[in-house]
Amino acid sequence: MISKKISLRKRLALEIERKLIKDQIVEHPLRTLFWESTLRCNAACRHCGSDCRATSSSKDMPTEDFLRVIDSITPHVDPHKVFIIFTGGEALVRKDIDHCGLELYRRGYPWGIVTNGFALTRERLDSLLRSGMHSITVSLDGFEEAHNWLRCVPDGFKKGQ
């Protein structure tokens, strides 16, 4: 067995790296925050395991309350490094999602949205982009026939185009 002696410089570098990794594990920095912004949804997907419905007995969290939560964590994070994702239900059923996104953008947070695309029009997309949206994920459940059947929305595939 050949034994190589590790130089002092390399040992110091390895020790520094070990300490950084250990500190990062202890710190576990916040990098992504998902906000289930509503329990309302404009689809009735067969595979959905959530309690989301077209109408919900639970009111949506007011944007002001969500922003208060964001403001409470802001002193503890670098907003530019925390990505906030709006989900639902269907986040686009909220009429104020653009306003909320703009407020996040003003605070330095990048944000995006996950949507089924049914309520996504060119005008709504432009409004979201003007509000500082960084990403959008449009979920699909296969090709047209399978998608429409799974979503229980006739012509849903075409609505999402």
| pLDDT tens by residue, 53-106 | 666 677 889 999 999 999 999 998 999 999 999 998 899 999 999 999 999 999
Buried b (16+ CB within 10 A) or exposed e, 130-147: ebbbbebeeeebeeeeeb
Q: What are phi and psi of 104, to 5 degrees?
A: -65, -45
Q: Which of 90, 89, 115, 113 is nearest to 101 (CA)?
A: 113
Q: Name residue 56's amino acid.
A: S
Using left for φ > 0, alpha for ψ between -120 and 50, and beta otherwise, residue 159 falls in alpha
Average pLDDT taken over every residue of the chain: 87
**Domains, the chain, with CATH or none:** 30-159 (3.20.20.70)
Residue 161: partners with Cβ closer than 8 Å, 6 or more residues away = 117
pLDDT of residue 27: 73
pLDDT of residue 65: 95
What percent of the chain stands above pLDDT 90?
A: 49
Q: Give the predicted TM-score (pTM) of the model.
A: 0.75
pLDDT over 70 (residue 52) = no
Question: Among positive and negative, which fits the CA dihedral 55, 56, 59, 60?
Answer: negative
H helix intervals, 46-142? 63-73, 97-106, 122-130
pLDDT of residue 3: 61
- pLDDT band for position 50 (cuts 50, 70, 90): low
Mean pLDDT calculated for residue range 144-156: 76
Q: Are 113 and 97 in contact (CB under 8 A)?
A: yes
What percent of the chain stands above pLDDT 70?
A: 88
Q: Are 108 and 75 in contact (CB under 8 A)?
A: no
Mean pLDDT calculated for residue range 116-125: 92
CB burial of residue 100 (10 Å; 0-12, 13-18, 19+): buried
pLDDT of residue 51: 66
